[in-house]
Structure 1
Amino acid sequence: MRIAILGATSQIAKDLVRSFSEQSHHELMLYARRPEVVSQWLASVDLAGRYEVADFTAFNTDEHFDAILNFVGVGNPAQAAAMGASIFDITLKCDEMALGYLRQHPQCRYIFLSSGAAYGASFDEPVNENTKAVIAINNLQPQDWYGVAKLHAECRHRALVHLPIIDIRVFNYFSHTQDMSARFLITDILRAIRDKTVLRTSPEYIVRDFLNPADFYQLVGVLLAASATNTVVDCYSRAPVDKPTLLAAMQDKFGLQYEIKQTNASVNATGSKPHYYSLNTHAADFGYQPAFTSLQGVLHEVERVFNSAPSEYCSA
């Protein structure tokens, strides 16, 4: 299978490229706004020369692709906040690039990386297959823009019912390649462990469902292998994890020191989300069976960050 990857500088795209390199023989064509960065990264992970790299301007409808994977977007809250309203133009431009190809090659699969933020800003409870998107149409705030951009793309895709487009809503993703400077709770934890400092975190109770690279690769694989369809799937692990359990496990396994204290230190570029995960298991209809729980996946990847001994939590 020949696959075009748009947005090859993103962390999740790079993790997928490495998974493909280790477990499949697909031919990948990597597109990015800064192709030199992708080439440097390939060399750093011993994949120099393995895949062709090009600027977005080189993408054209004369190429043959069996699938297009679109990862163009933002990778952390600070980037989302800095990008602001331009996320609309960036998302639309790259999406139209892929859709233009599909209109000429309707047999090509298209997988678009969406986000749980497309549901809106309210996550007082986890979403499910009956959850409706809630957008404050008369009071839109900057933290709404990222989710609205993804929702707009999904609406366009569902309207093109005759084309094989699958949107993957990612809620929480963690890998040992995570940018340690990103402002997520998990990266705040990692920096505290690395720097031997005390993590100060709010008493807010939150639940997250972290997907790891292995399960994401499995999900993409089953979607590419399935019969052509136009739909959307939510990402999920075998089980979510709440903040107290995550903090206790990090303390037990990696010596995390933390203090519960009222603070506004985190960056909520897409709004506060107490239960940011999904109970919609439509992906199982394609054969997806996650191997890791959120806690297992996180600890497995954190051990790779710190090169620690294997943990009992890592068994799938």
Structure 2
Amino acid sequence: MRIAILGATSQIAKDLILSFAAHSQHDLVLYARRPEVVSQWMNNIGLVDRYLVADFTAFSPAEHFDALLNFVGVGNPAQAAEMGASIFDVTLKYDDMALGYLHQHPDCRYIFLSSGAAYGASFDEPVNETTQASIAINNLQPQDWYGVAKLHAECRHRALAPLPIVDLRVFNYFSHTQDMEARFLITDIVRAIRDKTALKTSSDYIVRDYLHPADFYQLVRVLLAAPATNTALDCYSLAPIDKATLLTVMQDKFGLLYEIQHSGVAVNATGRKPNYFSKNKYPKEFGYYPSFSSINGICNEIEKYFMQDNLY
């Protein structure tokens, strides 16, 4: 297959590119707003000249692609907060680019990276196949904008039912290659282990479901091989993990030091989410069966992170 990766500087996109390079012969074209960053990354990981790297201005309906994968956006809560309302314009611009291509090439698959935030729910309970999106239409807050932008894109996609579009709602994702300076709970944990400092974290009870890079690749692979469809899917691992258990395992396995504080230590750019995961297992209908639970995936990737530079 010939596949266009839109937003190739995205961390999850880069992990997927690595998986494609290791396990497939697909021809990828990597589009980015900063193609020089992608080219340098390709050189650093030993894949120079493996795939074509291009600016978005080079993307054209005249090109032939079997699939478009759209990763344009932000994956860092602090960046999401800084980006503010412009998230709407960025999401719309590159989604329009992809949809314009599909209108001319209706057999081309389109996979759009959405988010669990599209539910807009309180997440007092995990979402499932009957959960409805919830938006405080008369009291929208800046932390709602990211999720609303994703929901808006998903609504557009469902309105184009004849076109083969799949929205993948990622809730949480962790890889040893990601920016450990980003403000997620898991990256805060890794930095504390690395720097031998005490993690300061809130006493809030939260549950998260961390997707492993290998399982994300598996999901994309089975979707590209399955009959064309127009739908949205929630991503999931073998099992989620609650914060208390995560901290205990990190302490036992990696020597994490941590202090429980009452407030003021988290970056909640998309709002409070006690149970941010899904019980909707619809992806199994496409042949997706994850190999990693959240805790196994996290431990696997943290070990890789420390081994790559003998950091631990």
Give your verdict on TM over 0.5.
yes
Equivalent-residue separation in structure 2 for 1:200 and 1:36 (angstroms): 37
After the TM superposition, list the runs of 4 or more consecutive aligned residues in structure 1 that deviate by more than 3 angstroms: none
**Equivalent in the alignment of 1:7:** 7
The letter of the residue matching 2:27 is: E
The letter of the residue matching 1:58 is: A
Equivalent-residue separation in structure 1 for 2:212 and 2:44 (angstroms): 21
Is 2:300 the counterpart of 1:300? yes
Unaligned runs of 5+ in 2: none
Given that 1:200 and 1:263 are in contact with CA atoms closer than 8 Å, whether structure 2 keeps it comes out as: no
Given that 1:235 and 1:278 are in contact with CA atoms closer than 8 Å, whether structure 2 keeps it comes out as: yes
**Equivalent in the alignment of 2:176:** 176
Deviation at 1:259, TM superposition (A): 1.2
- Percent of pairs with identical residues: 74
Give a deviation string over 1:127-150, Cα, whole Å, max 9, x none: 000000000000000000000000
The letter of the residue matching 2:11 is: Q
Give a deviation string over 1:214-252, Cα, whole Å, max 9, x none: 000000000000001100100000000000110011101
Give a deviation string over 1:1-35, Cα, whole Å, max 9, x none: 00000000000000000000000000000000000
Unaligned runs of 5+ in 1: 309-316
Secondary structure of the structure 2 residue equivalent to 1:113: strand
Deviation at 1:64, TM superposition (A): 0.2
Equivalent-residue separation in structure 1 for 2:221 and 2:9 (angstroms): 20
The letter of the residue matching 1:242 is: D
Map 1:191-202 → 2, pairs under 5 A: 191-202=191-202
Deviation at 1:262, TM superposition (A): 1.2
Equivalent-residue separation in structure 1 for 2:196 and 2:136 (angstroms): 42
Deviation at 1:265, TM superposition (A): 1.6
**Equivalent in the alignment of 2:142:** 142
Equivalent-residue separation in structure 2 for 1:78 and 1:121 (angstroms): 21
Map 1:198-213 → 2, pairs under 5 A: 198-213=198-213
Secondary structure of the structure 2 residue equivalent to 1:307: helix
Equivalent-residue separation in structure 1 for 2:274 and 2:14 (angstroms): 29
Deviation at 1:261, TM superposition (A): 1.5
Secondary structure of the structure 2 residue equivalent to 1:99: helix
- What TM-score, normalized to structure 2? 0.98
**Equivalent in the alignment of 1:250:** 250
**Equivalent in the alignment of 1:237:** 237
Equivalent-residue separation in structure 2 for 1:53 and 1:187 (angstroms): 29
The letter of the residue matching 2:221 is: G
**Equivalent in the alignment of 1:16:** 16
**Equivalent in the alignment of 1:163:** 163
**Equivalent in the alignment of 2:71:** 71
The letter of the residue matching 1:74 is: V
- What TM-score, normalized to structure 1? 0.97
**Equivalent in the alignment of 1:43:** 43
The letter of the residue matching 2:241 is: V
**Equivalent in the alignment of 1:80:** 80
Equivalent-residue separation in structure 2 for 1:223 and 1:89 (angstroms): 28
Equivalent-residue separation in structure 2 for 1:100 and 1:88 (angstroms): 18
Equivalent-residue separation in structure 1 for 2:106 and 2:150 (angstroms): 22
Given that 2:208 and 2:276 are in contact with CA atoms closer than 8 Å, whether structure 1 keeps it comes out as: yes
Deviation at 1:260, TM superposition (A): 1.2
Deviation at 1:121, TM superposition (A): 4.2
**Equivalent in the alignment of 1:26:** 26
Give a deviation string over 1:153-179, Cα, whole Å, max 9, x none: 000000000000000000000000121
**Equivalent in the alignment of 2:99:** 99
Given that 1:166 and 1:232 are in contact with CA atoms closer than 8 Å, whether structure 2 keeps it comes out as: yes
Number of residues of Structure 1 aligned to a counterpart in Structure 2 = 308
Deviation at 1:263, TM superposition (A): 2.7
Given that 2:237 and 2:291 are in contact with CA atoms closer than 8 Å, whether structure 1 keeps it comes out as: yes
The letter of the residue matching 1:295 is: I
